[in-house]
């Protein structure tokens, strides 16, 4: 009797060390120079994709590292000859915190693909799929892979039926794959079985699970998800894994070895790559860039359903106000504000909006006595539709008689590219500069000025050589 052949269903691995992992653990401060020497080896692994761009990396490059993010992308593309490159894209918010006109979204997608991105992971903080349409259509038009990510969250409205319905809509709108984006680490292992089983029945496109280790369950969640048919999991090389980052790549690879899900990735090669990143971790720990606060398990994320990044933001906001003793009160206020605001998932930018409002509600001593501009915008429908209605009383107190909008917010935004081009033309050195400016006008302008100064900087080695100065 022949041995029963086990059908192979290798799970695919998306490596996040060049994006989410360092965004989660060291405030997005990994530089291009730190990335490039290891690209060659990473390219040989056989990852499904390497996530390396978008999210907060764009802002952080311009603002803190004085690097052109587009230049980073081109350099990574040069190095990764065989591996797909992936970015994270916030739907109509692109990589910023506001809604942009369709022409800016389309141009950004086009330029991202032209500079080397293969897979664009697109999400909306309210899961309002109208906010995804323009980006998905643009990616499809340009021949890119549009992956739509559902912002995973808990709450009365978020039933299996809800996820099933929205997944079907996403497949219908032309997404090539579907991601469950669990930014807070709320998806527990047996819930993952349920969710993935449901989604696999609902759609035929591949399913990717993205979670964070914050609450300590992430690798168990991946195991159950893969057993239920999840096609792709997101992991980070061990020196930048765990804590608020992803489960470790090497651990997940070993977990599935010899099973039908075997990734067949080379553990020796992974080990060499880990050796490269380890000193970077040690250095970050020594300098305090990586703090023990983001490592370990934070069970408050499960108790309060608050993402790890949001917890640390709340702490620093309260610190600035000298009101750190109010932390617990604020944590308890977060779910209440979230409910008043239509129970949105908590992910950029909704996490900042809800978090800041919760802080104000507590420190001002009266709920909604002080209201941020962003809270008003959210309650006016300017970010899109929430899964549940707003608390009418709160809405009235915050926006008065302003009539909320119900259409797709970007329908009310006139094309912006032409005027942006005019505003920044004196700084333009490449087509992409207008997009940096569109997202972060002040930060990009500061960067352009810095770039100018670099051009006229004197190279001391040349000056020494023959006592002359050369611009480099
Ligand atoms: Co993430």
pLDDT bin (cut points 50, 70, 90) of residue 306 is confident
- What is the 82 CA–ligand 1 centroid distance (Å)? 24
- pLDDT for residue 465: 41
Q: Which helix (H) or strand (E) holds 76?
A: helix 69-79
pLDDT in the model for residue 294: 84
CA of 279 to the centre of ligand 1 (A): 23
Q: What confidence score (pLDDT) does residue 459 get?
A: 53
CA of 24 to the centre of ligand 1 (A): 8
User: What span, in angstroms and rounded, lies between the C-alpha atoms of 243 and 183?
Assistant: 12
| d(CA 210, ligand 1 centre) in Å | 7
Query: How much is the pLDDT for 463?
Result: 44
Q: 20 CA distance to ligand 1 centroid (A)?
A: 6
Q: According to the model, what pLDDT value does residue 311 have? A: 78
Ligand 1 center to residue 367 CA distance, Å? 31
- 329 token code pair: 């009160």
- By the 8 A CB rule, do 277 and 298 touch? no
Query: How many angstroms does the Cα of residue 443 sit away from the middle of ligand 1?
Result: 24
List beta partners, residue 182. Answer: 211
The Å distance, Cα 425 to ligand 1 centre, comes to 35
pLDDT in tens, 57-104: 999 999 999 999 999 999 999 999 999 999 999 999 999 888 999 999
Burial profile 325-359: b = 16 or more Cβ within 10 angstroms, e = fewer: ebbeebbebbbebbbbbbbbbbbbbbbbbbbbbbb
pLDDT at 471: 41
Average pLDDT taken over every residue of the chain: 93
Secondary structure (3-state) at 233: strand
What's the 105 CA to ligand 1 centre distance in angstroms?
A: 21
CA distance 132 to 134: 6
* Interval between CA 458 and ligand 1 midpoint (Å): 41
- Residue 54, pLDDT > 70, answer yes
Tell me whether residue 380 is exposed, middle or buried, using C-beta atoms within 10 angstroms of its C-beta: 0 to 12, 13 to 18, 19 or more.
Answer: middle
User: pLDDT tens digit string along 394-416?
Assistant: 999 999 999 999 999 999 999 99
End-to-end CA distance of the chain: 74
7: pLDDT strictly greater than 90: no
- What per-residue confidence (pLDDT) applies to 329? 94
Question: Ligand 1 centre from 212 Cα, in Å?
Answer: 6
33's CB contacts (< 8 A; 6+ apart) are none
**What distance in angstroms lies between residue 348's CA and the mean position of ligand 1's atoms?**
11
Cα(434) to centroid(ligand 1), Å:
27
CA-wise closest residue to 26 among 246, 313, 280:
280
Å from CA of 148 to ligand 1 middle: 14
In the reported structure, the alpha carbon of residue 211 is separated from the centroid of ligand 1 by a whole-number distance in angstroms of 6
Q: What is the pTM of this model?
A: 0.92
Query: Per-residue pLDDT averaged across 225-247, rounded?
Result: 97
Confidence at residue 3, expressed as pLDDT on a 0 to 100 scale:
58
pLDDT at 134 (0 to 100): 98
C-alpha of residue 9 to centroid of ligand 1, in Å: 25
């Amino acid at each position: 009797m022949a041995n029963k052949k086990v059908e192979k269903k290798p799970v695919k691995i998306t490596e996040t060390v060049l994006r989410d992992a360092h965004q989660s653990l060291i405030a997005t401060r990994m530089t291009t120079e730190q990335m490039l020497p290891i690209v060659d080896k990473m390219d040989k692994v056989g990852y499904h994709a390497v996530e390396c761009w978008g999210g907060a990396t764009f802002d952080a490059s311009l603002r803190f590292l004085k690097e052109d993010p587009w230049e980073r992308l081109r350099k990574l593309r040069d190095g990764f000859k065989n591996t797909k490159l992936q970015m994270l894209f916030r739907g109509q918010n692109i990589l910023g915190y506001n809604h942009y006109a369709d022409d800016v979204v389309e141009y950004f997608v086009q330029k991202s693909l032209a500079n080397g991105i293969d897979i664009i992971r697109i999400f909306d903080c309210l899961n309002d799929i109208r906010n995804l349409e323009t980006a998905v259509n643009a990616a499809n038009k340009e021949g890119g892979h549009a992956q739509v990510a559902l912002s995973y969250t808990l709450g009365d409205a978020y039933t299996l039926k809800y996820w099933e319905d929205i997944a079907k809509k996403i497949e219908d709108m032309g997404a090539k794959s579907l991601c469950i984006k669990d930014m807070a680490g709320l998806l527990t292992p047996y819930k993952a079985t349920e969710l993935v089983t449901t989604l696999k029945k609902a759609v035929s496109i591949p399913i990717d699970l993205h979670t964070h280790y914050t609450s300590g369950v992430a690798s168990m969640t991946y195991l159950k998800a893969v057993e239920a048919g999840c096609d792709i999991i997101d992991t980070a090389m061990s020196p930048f894994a765990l804590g608020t980052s992803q489960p470790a790549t090497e651990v997940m690879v070993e977990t599935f070895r010899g099973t039908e899900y075997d990734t067949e990735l080379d553990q020796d090669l992974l080990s060499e790559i880990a050796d490269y990143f380890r000193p970077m971790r040690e250095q970050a720990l020594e300098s305090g860039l990586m703090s023990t606060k983001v490592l370990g398990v934070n069970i408050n994320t499960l108790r309060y359903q608050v993402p790890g990044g949001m917890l640390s933001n709340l702490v620093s906001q309260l610190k600035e106000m000298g009101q750190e003793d109010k932390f617990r009160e604020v944590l308890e206020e977060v779910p209440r504000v979230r409910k008043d605001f239509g129970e949105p998932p908590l992910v950029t930018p909704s996490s900042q909006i809800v978090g800041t409002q919760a802080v104000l509600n507590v420190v001002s001593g009266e709920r909604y006595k002080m209201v941020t501009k962003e809270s008003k915008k959210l309650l006016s429908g300017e970010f899109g539709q929430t899964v549940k209605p707003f608390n009418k009383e709160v809405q009235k107190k915050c926006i008065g008689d302003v009539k909320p909008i119900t259409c797709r917010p970007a329908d009310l935004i006139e094309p912006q590219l032409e005027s942006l081009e005019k505003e920044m033309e004196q700084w333009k050195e490449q087509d992409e500069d207008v997009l940096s400016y569109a997202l972060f006008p002040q930060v990009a302008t500061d960067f352009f000025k810095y770039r100018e100064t670099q051009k006229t900087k004197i190279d001391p080695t040349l000056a020494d050589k023959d006592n002359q100065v050369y611009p480099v």
